[in-house]
């Protein structure tokens, strides 16, 4: 029987590249309302597993389910249409367009305007354009970015550009928002601001999955965490449970004694 609270689930997912077992038998359950984090040291297999869940890579073994339906081997665009929206580690904005125009692009997946409509400015085009503007302004207002709506995206600070990218993803009306290393390249102030931004989105009923190597960021932003090392799941639980897990400590600091946050090797 399908649990209605479960949004995204993986069962025994494996991904092999020739003789390399990049991901080995990883199980995961992301529930509605979660801010769910996937963490692990660099090279642990996080991104490969993430790509298996979003259709970038087909799993060698195992299955992925979304809202109880099997999505294994579906193309990324098919998975996106079901309600999973993803951002990437490298910011992908139209830097010479305004913030509003960047977000509007995300709205157009829900419109029916064709190229001829756009060229002739038909009634359909005007209707869809009105919808895109209103929806985009609603999103920007809702997440506290209305005042920068007319600013050219490329002139914004790096942390704000990341938020614009997330806002564009929200225009797709995602059931699950996937963020791939959103804090990469940010300074501490930008990282803290992004963390608060993710908490704000969650309070507005967005379910979020974050892949990140920054343990502090994930510990403070997420309610449940999956830890992967050498392609295998080594722990899953609340931040408190993960913080006290010896296998997690060893994955990040190596075997030895952890004393007041400092690793002391024997």
Lowest-pLDDT range, 15-29, 73-87, 106-120?
106-120
State phi, psi for 27 to the nearest 5 degrees: -105, 145
Whether the predicted pLDDT of 121 surpasses 90: no
215: its two tokens: 């343990």
Crossing angle for the helix pair 123-142 and 99-107, nearest 10 degrees?
120
The listed range with the strongest mean pLDDT (20-34, 37-51, 108-122, 123-137) is 20-34
Token pair 């722990």 in the structure block, residue: 235
Q: For 187-216, what is the mean pLDDT?
A: 93
Q: Measure Cα distances from 204 to 37, 89, 143, 197 in Å.
A: 18, 24, 9, 11
Q: For residue 91, name the pLDDT band (cuts at 50, 70, 90).
A: confident
Q: For 68-95, what is the mean pLDDT?
A: 90
More confident residue, 160 or 131: 160
Q: For 86-100, what is the mean pLDDT?
A: 89
Q: For residue 92, name the pLDDT band (cuts at 50, 70, 90).
A: confident
Q: Residue 252: its pLDDT value, please?
A: 76
Q: For 121-132, what is the mean pLDDT?
A: 76
Task: Please tell me the distance from the alpha carbon of residue 108 to that of residue 248, in angstroms, as a whole number.
Answer: 43
Q: Residue 260: its pLDDT value, please?
A: 41
3-class secondary structure, 30: strand
The 232-237 sheet, strands edge to edge:
84-87, 176-180, 208-211, 35-39, 224-229, 232-237
Task: Please tell me the distance from the alpha carbon of residue 130 to that of residue 104, in angstroms, as a whole number.
Answer: 10
Please say whether the dihedral angle defined by the alpha carbons of residues 253, 14, 72 and 76, taken in this order, is positive or negative. positive
Whether the predicted pLDDT of 222 surpasses 50: yes
Closest CA to 132 of 92, 93, 105, 154: 105
> What letter would DSSP give residue 154?
G
CB atoms within 10 A of CB 92: 12
Q: In terms of C-beta density within 10 A (0-12 exposed, 13-18 middle, 19 or more buried), how is residue 82 classed? A: middle
Whole-model pTM: value is: 0.85
3-class secondary structure, 177: strand
């Amino acid at each position: 029987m399908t649990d209605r609270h479960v949004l995204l689930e993986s069962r025994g997912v494996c991904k092999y590249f020739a003789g390399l077992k990049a991901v080995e038998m990883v199980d995961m359950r992301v529930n509605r309302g979660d801010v769910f984090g996937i963490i692990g040291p660099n090279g642990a297999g996080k991104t490969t597993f993430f790509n298996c869940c979003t259709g970038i890579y087909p799993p060698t073994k195992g299955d992925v389910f979304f809202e109880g339906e099997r999505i294994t081997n579906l193309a990324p665009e098919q998975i996106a249409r079901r309600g999973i929206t993803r951002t990437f580690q490298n910011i992908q904005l139209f830097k010479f367009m305004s913030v509003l125009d960047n977000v509007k692009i995300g709205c157009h997946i829900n419109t029916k305007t064709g190229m001829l409509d756009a060229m002739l400015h038909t009634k359909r085009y005007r209707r869809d354009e009105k919808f895109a503007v209103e929806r985009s302004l609603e999103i920007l207002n809702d997440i506290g970015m209305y005042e920068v709506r007319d600013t050219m995206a490329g002139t914004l600070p790096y942390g704000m550009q990341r938020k614009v990218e997330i806002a564009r993803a929200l225009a797709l009306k995602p059931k699950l928002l996937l963020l791939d290393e959103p804090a990469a390249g940010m300074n501490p102030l930008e990282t803290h601001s992004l963390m608060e931004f993710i908490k704000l989105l969650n309070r507005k009923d967005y379910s979020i999955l974050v892949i990140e190597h920054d343990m502090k960021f994930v510990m403070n932003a997420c309610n449940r965490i999956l830890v992967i090392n050498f392609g295998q799941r080594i722990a899953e639980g609340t931040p408190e449970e993960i913080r006290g897990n010896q296998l997690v400590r060893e994955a990040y600091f190596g075997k030895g004694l952890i004393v007041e946050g400092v690793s002391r090797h024997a």
